[in-house]
Amino acid sequence: MLFHSIEFVLLFLIVWWPAVFGNSLVRRIALLLASYIFYMWFSVPLVGLLVFSSVLDFLVGRWMYQTDDPARRRIFLLMSLTGNLGMLFLFKYFNFFTGTLNSLSQVFTDQAPIPHYDIILPMGISFYTFQTLSYTIDIYRKQLKPTNSLLTFALYVAFFPQLVAGPIVRARDLIPQLVRGVKFGPNQLRYGLGLFVFGLVKKTVIADNLAVYVDQVFANPAAYSGFEVLVGVYAFAFQIYCDFSGYTDMARGVAFLLGYDIKLNFNFPYFASSVREFWRRWHISLSTWLRDYLYIPLGGNRGARANHLRNIMITMLLGGLWHGANWTFVIWGGIHGIWIVIEHLRRRAIVQPTGWPYVIRAVLTFHGVCLTWIFFRAQSLSEALQMIRQLTAGFDVTHIPVSVGVYILLMLAADVIYAKTSFSQFILRQPLLYWIFIFSGIFTYMIFGNIAGGDFVYFQF
């Protein structure tokens, strides 16, 4: 069920009144039922995994909180880690690891001893698995008290605005909102609607239309000149940005319309002047999760420099693997890790966002990130290498639709205006301009939106 589908609009309209104006019990039941219906639209049987994860971590959290015995607390934490990561491994990584083992085995024995299984990847499993793990780990660290309500916790895990593609919400941020009730008013309504419309345009008008050219180039790079392939890489950079940040905008907008506040997940990442800064701006909920639950426990920047650089590489490699069961994602994460290591070795400071030094570094960072997107988008390592080789093949422009440049420039202009001004607050204070913005966005969606476009890119993760 996509946010811009008729089915979602009907579901939202049905649940909105009891979810906003019902008493505490009615509100949570309505939202949980809507969340399960939303997820079952993708797959009915796989909603059982949501229930399993919810019950497991609800019980583990309570058991862990009720004892001070370090050994028992570690056992309970291990139960949560085993259950959640085991489920993630089985559904997402089993065939990847067995395929790798089979490839190694064939080198020596010419046999593939482990069979391949057709396993359906549950929608959003990487997101809600990390979300529930943050809950049990925070309780283990004594940084969080568990909730006494299974209903509340199940709603935290399955909250439908951000269920299948994030942001990854921490329990300390969302559960108190679910407990204390809705914070709702006219400003909440207007801001939520504005966010949703903005995200809708980014997804259907920019991302889905850019995807048409991107898919053609990546499917057969040999048919395009080097410049056309380069434009395809730029187009994918903005496709994935508008697709994922568009989803986040719509998710946050829906949450605001229901009375809840979900934290920002993107902060103009293509304005970053270093790759370290890029990761502070891109998919913020994942990068902070990896920092808090992987990088720091590994030792962070404590101890010898070699250990610090090792921790960076482990974090980025596993961050790449989180995105998908393919070596291309591991390589993508590894390149970013090497880049961050080099920045640390050079002790390059993040420059202030003014002046030519910032502009030059931002341009260089953007192009470096774009080149790494080739590995992210390619279906295989050979396809990625073919794309890179093709970048030097001439300067023909006949296959590039003018609309590709228009969409990229529109998104850049929108980000510059939004980043450099208090545009959203200005619009909210001007009712006439606000409604012009809303209806212009809806009109743009209806006329230029690729309504037949596919799922959000991050649904596959």
pLDDT, one tens digit per residue, over 89-117 is 999 988 888 877 777 776 667 666 767 67
Whether 83 has a pLDDT exceeding 90, the answer reads yes
Which stretches of 202-267 are DSSP H helices?
208-219, 226-258
Rounded percentage of the chain residues whose pLDDT exceeds 70? 95
Distance separating alpha carbons of residues 329 and 320, to the nearest angstrom: 5
Which tokens is 145 given? 């008290």
Is the pLDDT reported for residue 154 higher than 90?
A: yes
Q: What is the distance between the alpha carbons of residues 12 and 227, in angstroms, rounded to a whole number?
A: 44
Catalytic choice (323, 336, 367, 399): 323
Residue type at position 113: P
Q: Which structure tokens are listed for 365? A: 């960072």
At 133 the pLDDT is 96
- Tokens (6 digits) for 214: 């991107």
pLDDT of residue 110: 66
Buried b (16+ CB within 10 A) or exposed e, 256-266: bbbbbebbebb
Kindly report the pTM of this predicted structure: 0.92
Res 277: pLDDT: 94
Active site residue 399: no
Rounded-to-integer distance, Cα 91 and Cα 379, Å = 19
The model's pLDDT over 326-357, given as tens digits with 9 standing for 90+, comes to 999 999 999 999 999 998 888 755 556 667 78
Contact of 263 with 348, CB cutoff 8 Å: no
- pLDDT for 204: 92
Averaged pLDDT, 262-268: 92
What token pair was written down for 152? 């509340």
Q: Name the DSSP letter for residue 414.
A: H
pLDDT for the residue 292: 96
